[in-house]
Structure 1
Amino acid sequence: MNLTSPQKAAVVLLQLGHERATKVLALLEEQEVEEISAEIARMETVPSAIADQVLVEFYDQANGGAPVAGHGGLEYAQRLLEDSLGAERASLVMGRLTTLLAGQPFDFLQQAEPRQVLSLINGEHPQTMAVVLAHLRPERASAIMAGLPPAERADVAMRIGTMEQASPDAVMTIADSLQRRAGHVLTAGEPTTAVGGIQPLVEILNRADPSTEKQILEELGQRDEALAEQVRSLMFTFEDVIHLDDRAVQLVLRQTDTSGLALALKGTSAELTEKIKRNLSERARLDLVDEMEIAGAVRVSEVHDARGAIVKVIRTLEESGQIVVRRDAEDEYVS
């Protein structure tokens, strides 16, 4: 039986047991969590033969332990998400998961060229455009949004950021209309859906070119400063610290206390931890190691709060011009 990577990951997590699987999920990107959780929800049971096959492959790469039987399902996926992400984030992911399991009403646009989609939605109401873009993959939606006129682009961005929910009937009406005009076959799905909100807009902007990102945020700020600031606060994540140069990291660390830093580093990559330690003095590095050992097991929410505090420091330094943050591992500069 040929399994996709998310399916194999789901099988492995089901063999780990609830507590260990929760810790693993907490380390993954949200898109990875959604993909794997969707597969877990689909797997009511995992036949022993398939579990053995996947685990043998996994052991070859990671030298694991003994396989055990696994049971999945939507209820188990929800409990796993709640314990790894917290109830609020789990609720958002489950909303999108339900849509993913049912099939997206705009699947026929996922493979179309951005210019073709632009031509298709040209002249539509900005709210209609927002509904369409919120359903597409962020990288594709970003390319399409970049082709809109500046004023219209900002209007659509604001509507995506404030939408959160859309009527299933309205979504299907829009999809059916576009499908007929596009001449493609629609993959219909069950009504669900969290289609917009802050996070989809952040993901779209994170994949936009710098000039498009800047223009949208400026226009958004003129329309709704609170929304624009909320989006800005999510545009840079703690894991992106790996892309800062050493002088920028040192500036950030000067304004970060050791206990908060120790919490923020819980569950992060060895590469990022090493980068942080490399930019500390020997004494501070030893204090950090001690603090991390003393902290022991902590709540995921505490880790998120600690990371958020550090990201806030980075944004303050960026706004004051002391550092320039570049996304996607571009060069950074410190004045």
Structure 2
Amino acid sequence: MTPLTTLTRAQKAAAILVAMGKPSASRLLKFFKQEELKALIEGARLLRTIPQSDLERIVAEFEAEFTEGAGLLDSADRMDTILNESLSPEEMNAIMGNKKPEAAPEGPPPIWPDLEKLEPSRLGSFLAGEHPQTAAMVLSKLAPQAAASVLLTLTKPMRGEIIKRMVTMANVPDAAARIVENRLRASVLAETSTKDTSAGQARVASVLNELDKPLLEEVMQDLEEAGTPDLDGVRARLFAFDDLPLLTQKARVLLFDGLSTELVTLALRGTSAALAEAVLSAIGARSRRMIEAELGQGSEGVPLADVMAARKTIVSTTIRLSREGAFELPSTQNAA
């Protein structure tokens, strides 16, 4: 028997619901919150026999009418029956904590993969006008290679300030991260989707870069006479093997540092002395001596197709590095 003085408010409410019977109790249960229902269930499971006199006093406390005169037995079992017949299994599981609540609908997808696809200079231009702390937060979210490419487009003082803040940066609060993401989505990605023609320029340039230099110049002239829009953007992405001397010394050193001496030797066979010197001046002394020794033996027996393939590999590597922000390509107009 459960003493009346020890009953909690939840237990008293459970006692009244059990006394009301399933039809009436079921209708009332729909108006309870999940937390309240859970409290009712837990309270009912602790109830034992409640005498009629105690039940009447409980009813009086709730200022409700109650005319059925039987005392209460097995309140927990009867409450479970009412709940199970009134609520769905999913609702019961959610109330009793047997099931994880449904995940809240996700917001917009992360923007970082989209930012990594942009030209490094575009994102760099945006970050150059932001506070270094904001720039550090953005770059810390990008893949290392993408972040490094963007850093290279910034001024040296700005780079140093951003890197210093990245080193000491703690976890960014979600609210602050969402503010930055929304700003990037509105200022960078939205502008890119409406105004950015770099993808089309890159596609055209990739096709034109497969042409020999004389034919390339002829096609570019035809495009210019036809009034093709954004032609300067296409021209800035064009590059031929003969344009290697137009790269800065720093760019050439970076380019040939990652290429094998065998590939460079093969590509230089049959080139002019000026072009060969532009390449060799960017290579270490030991590798240069090896390449010069190989070239001194002549090119007899070396297939021209192999030479052209080696040159195309160097051109492709140059274009890739420029896209990653390592350096800028000289335009065809400057080459002329």
TM-score (norm 2): 0.32
* Bigger CA radius of gyration: 2
